[in-house]
Amino acid sequence: MISLVDLTAQYHSIKMEIDAAVLSTLESGHFILGPQVAKFEESVASYLGVGHAIGLASGTDALVIALRALNIGADDEVIIPAYTFFATAGTVISVGAKPVMVDIDPQTYQIDVNYIESAISSKTKAIIPVHLYGHPAEMKPILEIARKHGVKVIEDNAQGYGAEYFGKKTGSLGDIGCLSFFPTKNLGAYGDGGMVVTSDAALAERMRMLRTHGWKKKYYSEEVGYNSRLDALQAAILQAKLPYLDLWNKKRRDLANRYNEHFVPLGIVTPIKREWAKHVYHLYIIRVEKRDALQAFLKERGIASEVYYPLPPHLSIPCRQFGYKEGDFPHAEKAAKETLALPLYPELTIEQQDEVIAAVKEFVS
């Protein structure tokens, strides 16, 4: 069986570092926040080139806390892409705001910047570009539109850690960047974890308060916050992994390029990389009309694949209240019917990749 991602292979490749990080944390007695989390926060801030990084319990919490820090709530609107993981929409709804969808560029799957301005209203408070699959959203026009209309930009960088837009790290370009350390991410913990990053000191202070019950001083709540703190154990594991991230992302690019070399001649739609982008291929996505048949074919041959995502957020039950319907965002809906993720992770062997390539070729032929 060839997995979509093999987390144990990565663990065994750096077992000594991981085991040492876990053991040192257990011996330290610090399990919630503390020195391990502070060290990892400093490392992430340095890597991204931002002033502040605040460790949280998950990437979803990062989006919620970012929205709360910007005082986004009832009767506000937030512009998001119509094709993304549901949390991008769900977190907006959870703070009482309305997610205003914008269709995607059908080649990169990123929010189509040509549609953003027409979606802005007097109620718009923020835009959330999502660096989906590890390819950067087109940030320059997004930031220009945001500045023109006085709205904030929250980057959903859950899938783009290490990606670059014109040489600058994604997550560092907007007012707030949101990260996820879910185990399957390019930099993954061994459990849930997330982070918000910013260069705005006032926003950083507010987000630190929000992650711990609204405290500046322990036990003295100044507002209703959350219990959303990155575990010291996860921080230590992530700190041990961080030095390998760029190498792992390069391996992902190499494997993706190798897939492309074999699939493009077959007429399969492979991932597009814009000239200004450094793609980190969190997922390797192909596009075929007979997607479900291909997935079944691969399963028969012991090859895992996955659909990210079968239901665009605007067609989900929680979004029915906003009046969205089928046909509203044709590019998003078509992508949901045709895209398929194939096995891709740094430890995937050439022999395993060849097996995947051969199976896809057999199906197409």
Q: How many CB atoms lie within 10 A of CB 16?
A: 8
Categorize the per-residue pLDDT at 142 as very low, low, confident or very high, splitting at 50, 70 and 90: very high
Radius of gyration of the chain, Cα coordinates, nearest whole angstrom = 20
The pTM of this model reads: 0.97
CATH topology match: 7-102+109-243 vs 245-364: no
pLDDT value at position 50?
98
pLDDT value at position 236?
98
Categorize the per-residue pLDDT at 38 as very low, low, confident or very high, splitting at 50, 70 and 90: very high
3-class state of residue 303 by DSSP: strand
pLDDT value at position 175?
98
Residues listed for the chain: 365
Q: Where would I find the H helices in the chain?
A: 7-13, 15-28, 35-48, 59-69, 87-94, 116-119, 139-149, 201-211, 232-241, 245-263, 291-300, 330-338, 350-364
Categorize the per-residue pLDDT at 347 as very low, low, confident or very high, splitting at 50, 70 and 90: very high
Report d(CA 77, CA 70) in Å as an integer.
12
Taking only the tens place, the pLDDT of each residue in 112-141 is 999 999 999 999 999 999 999 999 999 999
Residue that has been written with the tokens 């663990």 in this structure: 11
For residue 70 the two structure tokens come to 């910007």
Q: In what order do the strands lie in the sheet with 168-169?
A: 168-169, 164-165, 277-278
Distance of CA 208 to the CA centre of its chain: 21
Percentage, residues of the chain above pLDDT 90: 100
Categorize the per-residue pLDDT at 159 as very low, low, confident or very high, splitting at 50, 70 and 90: very high
Among 3.20.20.70, 1.10.8.870, 3.30.300.130, 3.90.1150.10, name the CATH number for the domain at 245-364. 3.90.1150.10
Quickly name the fold that domain 7-102+109-243 has.
Aspartate Aminotransferase; domain 2 (3.40.640)
Contact 89, 319 (CB under 8 A): yes
Report d(CA 140, CA 159) in Å as an integer.
19
> What are the domain boundaries of the chain?
7-102+109-243, 245-364
